[in-house]
Structure 1
Amino acid sequence: MLLPAYPLMTERLTLRPFAAGDLDDLHAFHSRPEVARYLYWEARDREQTREVLAHKTGQTALRAEGDRLVLAVVAGERVIGEVSLAWLSEEHRQGEFGYVFHPDAGGRGLATEAARVVLRLGFEELGLHRIIGRCDPRNEPSWRLLERLGLRREAHFVQNEIFKGEWGDEYHYAMLEDEWRAITSES
C-alpha cells in the first residue's frame, strides 16, 4: 500500500492530491488540442474537465493492484500538470507512470522534477520492481523526458492500435528498481 505524506515537495514544486478548486488550472491545459493530441482523450470542455477532476480527487493512494495515484503538480500557486502511478501487478511488482503538463511549463525541467517523485514513490515506498512509461513516437518531448529520467526504450510497437481514427505506433520504456538505485546513488 502507498499513502504518501502530502504535500510532496521538490526544489520548485509541490505535488498533492487534486482538489475541487483546481478546476480552472486543470481546464487550462486539458482543454488544449495540442495537449490531448497524443492522449486517449480529446480536448475537454469545462464540464468534462469537472467530471475528470471529481474522479482525480479520489485517486490519492495505492491500496491494491489496479489502483491509480494521480497528483497535481503545483508551481507557485498554479497547477501546471499532473503525474500518475498505476499499480499494475502486486505479484510481479509492476507499475506504470504518466504525466500531462501545460505547454507553458515546458523547457524548464519541471516535468522531469515531478516525474522523479513518482518514480521514487513507486520504487522506494511501494517497492515496485519495474515501472514502465508509454508514449506515441511522434511525441518527442515525451520520449525525451523518459530517456532523461533514465528509462530504456524496450519496444516500438508499429501500428499496434487504432488511435483517434488511424493506426498508431507506441514506444514502451521501462526502468528496474536496481537501475533506479544506481541512478539515485550517483546524485
Structure 2
Amino acid sequence: MLMPLYPLKTARLLLRPYTFDDFDAFHDIQSRDDVTRYLRSDNRDREEARQELTKLIGLEALREEGDKLVLAVELPATGTLIGDVGLFWTSREHRQGEIGYIFHPDHSGKGYATEAATEMLRLGFEVLGLHRIAGSIDARNDASARVLQRLGMRREAHFVQNEMIKGEWTDEVVYAMLNDEWRAREKA
C-alpha cells in the first residue's frame, strides 16, 4: 500500500491531492488543444472538466492493484497549478506500474514534468516496491518522449497504428524502467 503524507516536496514543486479549488486552473489545462492533442480525451468544456476533476479528487493512495494515484503539481512560491502526475498500479503479481503526466504548455521546457515524474518513480520503486514502471505515449509526442528519456527510462516498444484516437490510427511507444535500473540511477 502507498499512502504518502502530503504535500510531497521536490526541489521546486509541491505534489498534492486535487481539490475543488483547483477547478479554474484544471479547466484551463484540460481545455487546450496543445494539451489534449496526444491524449485519448478531447478538450473538456467546463462541465466535462468538473466531472473529470471530481473523479481525480480522492485518488491519493494506492491500496490495491488497479488503483491510481493522481496528484496536482503546484509551484509553491505562487500556488499555481501547472499540471498533474500519476502512478497507476497495474499488477500486484508482477509488481508493475505506469506513470503519466499532463502539464500546462506555459510551464514546459523547465524540467517540471521530469521532476514530478521522478517523484512518482521513487514512490513506485522505493515505497510500493514495484519491479517495473512503464510510460506509454503517442509516438508523435516528442516532448513527452524526451521526459521519459531524461528519467532514464528505456524505449521498449513501438506499436504501429495500434489505437484509433480522435478518428485516426496512431502509433504508441512504450518506455520502461526496472527497479534495478532505478537503484543504479540513484547511486550514480
TM-score, with structure 2 as normaliser: 0.97
Residue of structure 1 in register with 2:127 after alignment? 125
Find the aligned partners of 2:154 and 2:122 in 1 and give their Cα distance: 17
Tell me the equivalent position of 2:70.
70
What's 1:29 paired with? 29
Alpha-carbon separation, structure 2, partners of 1:110 and 1:34: 17
What is the aligned partner in structure 1 of residue 158 from structure 2?
A: 156
Given candidates 108, 111, 115, the residue that maps to 1:109 is 111
Task: Name the % identity.
Answer: 60
**1:167 to 2:185 alignment:** no
TM-align CA RMSD: 0.6
SS, match of residue 118 in structure 2? helix
Instruction: Output the CA distance in 2 between the equivalents of 1:101 and 1:16.
Output: 15
Question: 2: distance between equivalents of 1:30 and 1:116?
Answer: 23
Shift of residue 31, structure 1, vs aligned partner: 0.5
Q: Deviations over 1:31-59 (max 9, x none)?
A: 10110010010000111111111111121
Instruction: After TM superposition, give the deviation of residue 9 of structure 1 in Å.
Output: 0.3
Question: CA offsets, 1:82-111, max 9 Å, x none?
Answer: 000110000100000100000001011111
Shift of 1:162: 1.2
SS of the residue corresponding to residue 160 of structure 1 reads strand
Structure 2 CA distance for aligned equivalents of residues 25 and 100 of structure 1: 13
Aligned to 2:20: 20
1:107 corresponds to which letter in structure 2?
A: G
The within-5 A match list for 1:51-66 is 51-66=51-66
SS of aligned partner of 2:61? coil
Q: Distance in 2 between matches of 1:34 and 1:106?
A: 11
Corresponding residue SS for 1:112: helix
Letter in 2 for 1:146: L
**2:87 is the alignment partner of 1:88:** no
User: How far apart are 1:166 and its partner, in Å?
Assistant: 1.1
CA distance in 1, matches of 2:163, 2:117: 26
4+ residue stretches of structure 1 with deviation over 3 A? none
Aligned partners of 1:59, 1:112: CA distance in 2, in Å?
Answer: 21
TM-score under structure 1 length normalisation: 0.98
Counterpart-to-counterpart distance in 2, 1:161 and 1:73: 29
Equivalent in the alignment of 1:46:
46
* Matched AA of 1:169: D
Q: Distance in 2 between matches of 1:63 and 1:72?
A: 19
Tell me the distance in 2 between the aligned counterparts of 1:131 and 1:169: 20
Consecutive unaligned residues in structure 2, runs of 5 or more: none
